[in-house]
Amino acid sequence: AQSVTQPDIHITVSEGASLELRCNYSYGATPYLFWYVQSPGQGLQLLLKYFSGDTLVQGIKGFEAEFKRSQSSFNLRKPSVHWSDAAEYFCAVGARAGNMLTFGGGTRLMVKP
């Protein structure tokens, strides 16, 4: 069975500091990997996704993520956090030909002025 673990429930960073959100997955085949962001009162928005090819993927809002197969990880990074990045972030894994995504528990990001 597939599973996704986001070890950090809450993270607080100062504005302008760098950010890394961790995501580890368990999956028996080649995964599709996603990062979604949920801002307060909003739905989920796709930040970026990895299907194949270059293991470093660029997304919207200055985010990037690196797929490391040996570590079963897909960590999300941003070099300089803005106050508007405060939100909840979800990592998800799915099958190449399937329809179902498994989500991690989410990481709530708070940004200090």
Partner 1 sequence: DAGVIQSPRHEVTEMGQEVTLRCKPISGHNSLFWYRQTMMRGLELLIYFNNNVPIDDSGMPEDRFSAKMPNASFSTLKIQPSEPRDSAVYFCASRDSRNEKLFFGSGTQLSVL
Alpha-carbon gap, residue 109 to 57, rounded angstroms:
21
| Window 17-36: residues binding partner 1 (CB under 8 A) | 32, 34, 36
Residue whose CB is less far from partner 1, 14 or 26: 26
Does residue 14 contact residue 83 with C-beta atoms inside 8 Å? no
**Chain length of the chain:** 113
Alpha-carbon gap, residue 27 to 86, rounded angstroms:
29
Alpha-carbon gap, residue 87 to 90, rounded angstroms:
10
* Residue 94 touches partner 1, criterion: CB under 8 A: yes
* Residue 44 touches partner 1, criterion: CB under 8 A: yes
* Residue 46 touches partner 1, criterion: CB under 8 A: yes
* Residue 42 touches partner 1, criterion: CB under 8 A: yes
Contact residues: partner 1, CB under 8 A: 32, 34, 36, 41-46, 49, 51, 90, 94, 99-106
